[in-house]
Structure formats: C-alpha cells, structure tokens
Structure 1
Amino acid sequence: MSPRKKILVVEDHLPLRTALEITLPDHGFAVVSAGDGQSAVQLALAEQPDLVLLDIMLPGRSGFEVCQELRRRNSGVPIIVLTAKTADEDELLSFQLGADDFVRKPFKMEALVARIKALLLRVTLKDSPPRIVFGSFVLDVAARTLCADSRRVDLTPREYALLEFLALHPGQAFTRAQLLDRVWGPDYEGTERTVDRFVTTLRQRIERDPRNPQHILTVRTHGYEFAR
C-alpha cells in the first residue's frame, strides 16, 4: 500500500481548520496544520508535505508571504490558496508568487478534495513526463515535441510552452493574464493580446477547423482552456 499523501493545512479560522483536519483523512490524506504564517513556513520545511492549503489572511506573516518564502527556498510543494478575498488582483498575485491553484471561500469540501486530487495527479505526471494524446496528435513532454501521424510538427519554443501548459491542465480555464504569467513569466512586459496571437497560431497548426476549435477553447469573458 502506498503511503498517504501529507497535506499541510494553514488556516487561522479554527472551525474551518478543524473541519479540514477531520475531512481530509476520510479521503485518505494525512494532515498537519498551522494557524499562523511563521508556523506554516517552519512546518512546511520540517514536514515536507505533498501539498499545502494556504489561507491568505493569517496572523503574523500573510499567506502571500508564506508562498513567496517557500518558493524562495526552492520548495516545489503544490500550493492551493484558500481565501475569502474576491479581488482578481489577489488571484493574480497568488499565481505570480508561485501558487498552483486558487479557491474562494466558502467552498464545498467535495470540490476542494477534487482539486487536491487533480493537482497531486498533475504533479505526479510532471514528475514522470507524460505523452499527451489528443486527436491525431501526440505531445511528448519529455522530448518536448509534437507529432501528428508520426510526423513532427514544428513549433517555436513559446508556442510549444503555451501548448504544453494548456495540455497539462485539461478542462481548467486560464485568463490571459494567468497564461502570460505562467508561460511568458512575471517580468514579461507585453499585452494580453500576445496570448490571443499565439492561440490563433496554435489553432492553425492543431485544429482541423481553426474557426471551430476542438482543443484550445475560448472561455467567454475569461480566457482559454484545453480539451483533449
């Protein structure tokens, strides 16, 4: 039997922290918890959890500071930010600081557990680079190649990076700002229209009918998502 995945719960609201401490073990997870930012950093480094659930509004060091500190220490632990804050800027900042997912409170426990499992699966796939099949295409993450009917499709490095990122997160919608941050990097100074131009080019390469795409889908008023 494989060992249970360990989750670090960082939440200062005791009723919610207790609920997570009770619910997550029922789904096969081991749990350690902290109620403030400083303890969270110490526990993350000492316990080496498989995933962190991180509240933003914490006593002492904020969740933003905790996330930044863990990434500064080269911790690659997956981080899901939990917050009652609703501003889009908070979501964007979370991703810029290295968070992997962002969940607004209140949330359903079942939905949170599903996100945890999905993120842990993505990390597993990342550790063992997959070959992603969609339509007649095969995206080989280890070789960083795209082939169609055994013939290589030439992509620029940035085109490949955008396609790979979307393909590794099927069914998950990303804003243009999030894609700029995750694919181009936080220091990129271009506009969100850059994403649209690259999506148009990718559709011309992988879609049977670029005007009616089946793989890189537009999510109205939001951005893009990938479908296999």
Structure 2
Amino acid sequence: MYKNVKIAVIEDDENLRFLVAHRLESENYQVIQTGDGDEAEKLILEQKPDIVLLDWMLPGKQGSEICADLRKAGFVNLIIMMTAKSQDVDKIDAYSFGVSDYITKPFSMDVLVAMIENKIKYFVSNQGADLYTFGDTEHHPNIHSLVRDGKKIELTILENRILLYFLQNIGRVIGRDELMQVVWGYSSNVNTRTLDMHIVRLRKKIELNADKPTYLQTVRGMGYKFVDNP
C-alpha cells in the first residue's frame, strides 16, 4: 500500500535509527537515513522524501535549524520532529520552523507507524481541497494560510488541520476527543488543555474579536462548532 512512500530517518543514535528504519521497511516504506545534520540536508534535497523523521538534537546542527534550512530551500513535504524533551514542543510551536508535527521520545514503534499512516491518509485525502471561504476570509489549506483583505495570515500545521476539519463539518458540534483524534491522529502526549490552547491561537487569527468568537464557537460540555453565517 505504501511502497511509493519514501521516509528519511535523521537520527544520530544508531540503535534507534536502526530500529525505526527496520520497522518502517517492514511496513513496506522506502527508507533513507543518516545521523549527520549537514549530510541530512543534502540527502533530503536530493532524494525528496515524502516524510522526514528529524531528531531535535543532532551533532553540529540542531534539528530546528535543519528544518528551517530545508523550508528556505523549498522543501514542502512533511517534517516530523523527534524530541526527547516535552518542553521542546513549545519551542517548536513558538518558533514555527516549518515543523509539520512532533513525536516525543521514548515512543513505541506502533505509535510512530500509526502516526505516519494517519499523515499519509490525511494529506492524500485532502490534496484536492484548494480553497474554503468563510465571511471575508479565504482558507488555503495546502499552503497553511488565510487570506483576508489581500493580506496573508500564516497558520501552523496544527491550526491548519483544526480549521480544515471545522470547515469540512460546518454547523456540526465536534467533541474534543474526536478533534484530538483527527488532528493528532494518536492520543499520546495530547490532552484537552493542549487542544484548547491551539483553539485560542486559531481564534486570534480568524475572529474579529477572539474573546467573543462568532465563527469557532464553544458548546459547553460538548466541544466546539463552526458557524459560517454568525
């Protein structure tokens, strides 16, 4: 099923790199790998893998720097950061190097494989969705952006995924558990507080008054719903 999907494993811990590569190959993915940051950039830009699993801490160059360099060089495919520290997740969000998502070590191989399968399903199933509109705002999911009054507003990948799901389900009340499953694709390291934090950030980008949202409304005790004509 996934024979044509190529995954780069960039990890300086040889044992972990071997385990991840071996498991992914057993799932019929094509795998390329290295433990060196400088070599990683060259390898990724030449081979253009569909998904990059990138370690946060690498000798010589941090994963965040590699990620930023790849984005500047025009690499647009998925980059999943592997981080050993939960606090680094905040940095990934705050500095927005272009990381698509993250997974915290130690992780089980089953969780990693499920996450990758979810990414492939999500991106393949939504490739045709070029444009959504609500109010005077356009949402361009493929480039993770909003356009309003001729101005471009960038979304993080998670904000983009949350908004896309709401726009695909306008008017329907969506529970937090459902939203977390759709957005993250797995339950590890995700709680409702994290989800609510992303909702708050998203509202600041889509609402005229984020404290009194008209589009992305809270339904007490149930979750959220998106109203197109408030």
Q: TM-score range by the shorter chain?
A: 0.5 to 0.7
1:89 CA drift (Å): 3.2
Give 1:157's match in structure 2, choosing from 137, 160, 164: 137
* Residue number in structure 1 paired with 2:127: 127
Does the 8 Å CA contact 2:3/2:29 hold for their aligned counterparts?
Answer: no
Contact 2:8 2:49 in 1 (8 A): yes
- Please, which moves more after superposition, 40-49 or 174-183? 174-183
Change (3 A) 1:6 1:159: closer
Report if the CA contact (8 A) 1:10-1:52 is conserved: yes
Q: CA deviation at 1:27?
A: 1.4
Which amino acid in structure 2 is aligned with residue 211 of structure 1? R
| Structure 2 residue 126 is matched with structure 1 residue 144 | no
1:8–1:32 CA contact under 8 A, matched in 2: yes
Distance, in Å, in 2 between the alignment partners of 1:59 and 1:7 is: 21
Tell me what 1:24 maps to: 24
**Inter-CA distance 22–179: structure 2 relative to 1 (3 Å threshold):** farther
The answer to whether the Cα contact below 8 Å between 1:176 and 1:195 also exists between their aligned partners in 2 is no
Q: Residues 97-154 of structure 1: CA distance to partner in whole angstroms, max 9, x if unpaired? A: 011111110001111111111122222234222xxxxxxxxxxxx4414xxxxxxxx5
Q: Is the 8 A contact 1:179 1:195 kept in 2?
A: no
CA shift in 2, pair 1:47/1:216, >3 Å:
same
2:29 and 2:74 mapped to 1: Cα distance?
A: 24
Aligned partners of 2:76 and 2:82: how far apart in 1?
A: 18
Whole-angstrom distance in 2 between the partners of 1:109 and 1:62: 23
**Structure 1 pair 66–93 and aligned structure 2 pair: CA distance change class (3 A):** farther
Counterpart mapping for 1:1-228 below 5 A: 3-87=3-87, 88-93=89-94, 96-129=96-129, 142-145=130-133, 155-157=135-137, 161=146, 165-168=161-164, 170-171=179-180, 172=183, 174=195, 176=197, 180=201, 184=205, 196-197=210-211, 200-204=213-217, 210-216=219-225
Quick check: 1:7–1:52 contact (8 Å CA) kept in 2? yes
1:161-207 deviation per Cα after TM superposition (whole angstroms, max 9, x unaligned): 589641546433645368748984xxxxxxxx989537x32245xx8
**Once the two structures are aligned, what percentage of the paired residues are identical?**
29
TM-score, normalised to structure 2's length?
0.66
In 2, Cα distance between the equivalents of 1:7 and 1:46? 13
Q: Secondary structure at the match of 2:8?
A: strand
Unaligned runs of 5+ in 1: 130-141, 146-153, 185-192, 218-228
RMSD: 3.5
SS of residue matched to 2:214: helix
Distance (Å, rounded) in 2 between the aligned partners of 1:91 and 1:58: 16
CA distance in 2 between counterparts of 1:62 and 1:33 reads 16
Question: Matched residues in 2 for 1:18 and 1:195: separation?
Answer: 50
Cα offsets for 1:18-47 (capped at 9, x unmatched)? 001110011121100010111110110111
